């Protein structure tokens, strides 16, 4: 009897060893255990790669005090200008990671939905497909599966996925009702967690601060709420979406558009530095930065975007983490699209999103482990 038991046990162990080997052989070795993904709405690739545009730093483009904005953002070279605008992206992510989308260097990053506005842009990013049924910014629950929902459905990620959106549409874009994802969006007070004093103040400020836009509060309120959550709950997959860059663009305020782009960059920096100070995240976390659509050209197109607005399909994407080769600002690459982000995000974690959504854009190989 003992021998039977022993051989059964041996067979069982061998099974484990071989299935482990098969698994290791299939997936490439990766170090990423957590994802931090930040998007800021409607950020133009022109500013990301060339910094502030001289012809727009004027009163005609809503710049209240041109001398001040010029002092903050104007420099003689495009490299110095973009560093003044997004210091973390250029001094850290572009050094240690990869940045796609500089068309002047033959790197094209785009949304592929053809509509070039927010709901379709976020939907493409998270679902991995550009679904023609998703064609408005209305509060309609998204019929498509998204990668955050898919991860949250697995036991190892369940309740470790968190979404903070300045824009109130995220519960629809990511179909909160169906997905059951943790989402805090718009002016909603955070409530599903133990309310620390910080949360309590932030919830009050969301209520007490002047509402400039009915669909989203100021980014600082969403960001600080998300940061408190990040530190307390330590999610494995963390997504933050900021909205002011788009709002100020529509308002024709080039000064505020630049200031909020710089603030968005600073939010990414704070999140990253916070993560690196925590054992759970240090050297085990991949950072992704992108936008949901671009905007048109100067002199007037920069304020807007959409199907009819040339250039507003162009975006930027940046990746940094323990698995991403430090190739810096990319040049002469294959075109990359927002539809590839979902499978790329999953692949960093060693998961294959295309087993669930075969039509999703394929992972961006260059940012993933190369062995």
Binding residues vs Zn ion (CB under 5 A): 42, 246
Give the tokens for residue 102. Answer: 């500089």
Closest to 251 in 3D by CA, of 215, 294, 302, 209: 302
Please report how close the Cβ of residue 344 comes to Zn ion at its closest, in angstroms.
25
Q: How many CB atoms lie within 10 A of CB 50?
A: 17
CB atoms within 10 A of CB 211: 12
Q: Cα(38)–Cα(193) distance, rounded to whole angstroms? A: 22
CA atoms within 13 A on the CB side of 331: 3
Distances (CA, A) of 158 to 162, 186, 283, 286, 329: 10, 24, 22, 19, 35
CB of 346 to Zn ion, least distance (A): 28
What's the closest the beta carbon of residue 62 comes to Zn ion, in angstroms?
16
Shortest distance, position 243 Cβ to Zn ion, whole Å: 9
**Cβ 370 to Zn ion shortest distance, Å:** 37
For residue 137, the minimal CB distance to Zn ion (Å) is 8
Instruction: Using the minimum distance from each CB to Zn ion, give the nearer residue, 110 or 152.
Output: 110
Question: Which of residues 305 and 330 has its CB atom nearest to Zn ion in the complex?
Answer: 305
Q: Among candidates 127, 195, 142, which has minimal Cα distance to 356?
A: 127
Nearer to Zn ion, 117 or 319 (CB): 117
Q: How far apart are CA 42 and CA 174, in angstroms?
A: 19
Residue 322: other Cβ atoms inside 10 A: 16
Nearer to Zn ion, 121 or 235 (CB): 121
Nearer to Zn ion, 44 or 206 (CB): 44
Whole-number Å distance between alpha carbons of 261 and 289: 12
* Nearer CB in complex with Zn ion: 246/323: 246
Nearest CB to Zn ion, comparing residues 137 and 196: 137
Name the token pair of 228: 């408190």
Question: Do residues 164 and 217 touch, judged by C-beta distance below 8 A?
Answer: no
CB 146 within 8 A of CB 175: yes
Residue 292 CB, nearest approach to Zn ion (Å): 9
Are 185 and 163 in contact by the 8 Å Cβ rule? The answer is yes
For residue 142, how far is the Cα from the chain centroid?
Answer: 19
- Tell me the closest approach of the beta carbon of residue 207 to Zn ion, in angstroms: 25
Please give the backbone phi and psi of residue 133, each rounded to the nearest 5 degrees, phi first.
-70, -20
Of residues 42 and 101, the one with the C-beta less far from Zn ion: 42
Q: Which is nearer to Zn ion, 88 or 117 (CB)?
A: 117
Closest residue (Cβ) to Zn ion? 246
* Closest CB 304 distance from Zn ion, rounded Å: 7
H helices of the chain, in order, are 2-26, 45-50, 66-73, 78-85, 87-88, 94-96, 118-127, 147-152, 170-173, 176-179, 197-208, 219-233, 244-250, 254-276, 341-348
């Amino acid at each position: 009897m003992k021998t039977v038991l022993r051989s059964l046990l041996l067979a069982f162990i061998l099974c484990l060893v071989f299935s482990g080997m098969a698994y290791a052989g299939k997936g490439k070795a990766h170090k990423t255990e957590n994802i931090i993904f930040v998007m800021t709405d409607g950020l133009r690739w022109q500013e990301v790669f060339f910094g502030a545009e001289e012809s727009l730093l004027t009163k005609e483009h809503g710049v209240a005090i041109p001398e001040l904005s010029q002092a903050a953002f104007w420099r003689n070279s495009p490299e110095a200008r973009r560093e003044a605008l997004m210091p973390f992206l250029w001094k850290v992510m572009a050094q240690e990671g990869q940045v796609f989308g500089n068309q002047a260097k033959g790197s094209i990053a785009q949304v592929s939905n053809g509509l070039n506005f927010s709901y379709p842009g976020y939907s493409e990013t998270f679902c991995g497909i550009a679904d023609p049924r998703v064609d408005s910014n209305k509060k309609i629950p998204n019929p498509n599966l998204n990668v955050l929902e898919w991860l949250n459905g697995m036991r190892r990620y369940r309740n470790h996925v968190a979404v903070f959106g300045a824009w109130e549409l995220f519960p629809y874009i990511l179909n909160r009702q169906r997905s059951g994802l943790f989402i805090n969006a718009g002016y909603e007070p955070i409530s599903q967690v133990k309310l620390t004093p910080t949360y309590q103040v932030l919830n009050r400020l969301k209520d007490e601060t002047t509402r400039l836009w009915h669909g989203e509060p100021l980014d600082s309120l969403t960001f600080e709420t998300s940061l408190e959550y990040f530190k307390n709950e330590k999610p494995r997959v963390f997504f933050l979406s900021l909205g002011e860059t788009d709002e100020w663009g529509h308002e024709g305020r080039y000064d505020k558009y630049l200031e909020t782009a710089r603030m968005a960059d600073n939010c990414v920096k704070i999140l990253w530095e916070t993560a690196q100070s925590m054992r759970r995240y240090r050297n085990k976390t991949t950072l992704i930065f992108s936008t949901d659509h671009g905007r048109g050209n100067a002199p007037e197109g920069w304020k807007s975007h959409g199907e009819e607005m040339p250039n507003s399909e162009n975006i930027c994407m940046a990746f940094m983490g323990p698995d991403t080769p430090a190739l810096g600002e990319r040049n002469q690459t294959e075109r990359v699209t927002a539809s590839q982000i979902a499978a790329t995000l999953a692949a960093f974690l060693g998961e294959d999103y295309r087993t669930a959504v075969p039509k999703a854009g394929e992972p961006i190989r260059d940012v993933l482990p190369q062995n």
